[in-house]
Amino acid sequence: MVELKGASDNMYVRNVKFAKLGLVLSVLALVSSITVYAGISTGYIGSTQAGMVVGSTGLSTSVPRLTVNAVDSSGNDLNGMYVSLSLNGSLIQSNFTPTSFKLNSSQTYTVTVADYSGYTFDHWGNGSTLRTMTISISSNTALTAIYRKVGSGVPQGESILTVKTIDSSGGSISGLYTSLWQNGTLISSADSPASFMVNTGAIYQVIVSSYGNYTFDHWSSGSTDLMITTNTSDPADLNLVAIYS
């Protein structure tokens, strides 16, 4: 008879070795999964987290933010002033002051602030009197729009454009949304009767809206177009009247 005990012992030893090898491989697989997870959390595979742009190299850079604030001529904060952000002539975001937007550092945007509640835009903190500012940033940037009270005087080179809405009998209508545009960009908006600060000699477009029982019929000039173009170098174009039926 052939003794098989030694073969059984060898088989046992091999089984133990394979079991140990399987344990080692399991540990390695666990370590590998932990490494992959850590890679995701630190950005080695590329992602965007909490305002951070994570590239394929695992290096993170902050997304530049544009902050827009509004103050009066005395430096007091003005909250709730409408701010619009446009790209290539199209509105992409809007909010009320104080507000901030995330921007792509490789693109150029336009920022426009509107008038509201007795305050009209006067200038930006950098001295520019253009209501719409063109901007491209690569790091966090703050803009401050300075407003003044309506009736506190008109700066040189600017004029006040008024828009009134009346019914067919000449009665005043209040609360109809009115917007001021220039080159396809919304400059400002207000409820009628509305007043806008404009650059003297510039061309603007004014649009009024219908609401409730009031439907736009025509302008006092006879035009029946909802949008009217006005040249502020002509004093007659600074006082617009929209007639409703």
**Domains by residue range for the chain, with CATH:** 64-153 (2.60.40.10), 154-245 (2.60.40.10)
Provide the pLDDT confidence category of residue 22 given band limits of 50, 70 and 90: low
For residue 241, the cross-strand partners are: 164
Residue 84's CB is within 10 A of a number of other CB atoms, namely: 20
pLDDT tens digit string along 84-105? 999 998 899 999 999 999 999 8
Tokens of 53: 């742009």
Whole-angstrom CA distances from 19 to 7, 8, 29 are: 18, 16, 15
pLDDT of residue 121: 87
pLDDT of residue 20: 52
Encoded amino acid at 85, one letter: L
Percent of the chain with pLDDT over 90: 44
Provide the pLDDT confidence category of residue 181 given band limits of 50, 70 and 90: very high
140 near 171, Cβ under 8 Å? no
Average pLDDT, the chain: 78
208 near 177, Cβ under 8 Å? yes
0.85 exceeded by the pTM? no
pLDDT tens digit string along 128-177? 878 888 999 999 999 999 998 876 666 678 888 899 999 999 999 998 99
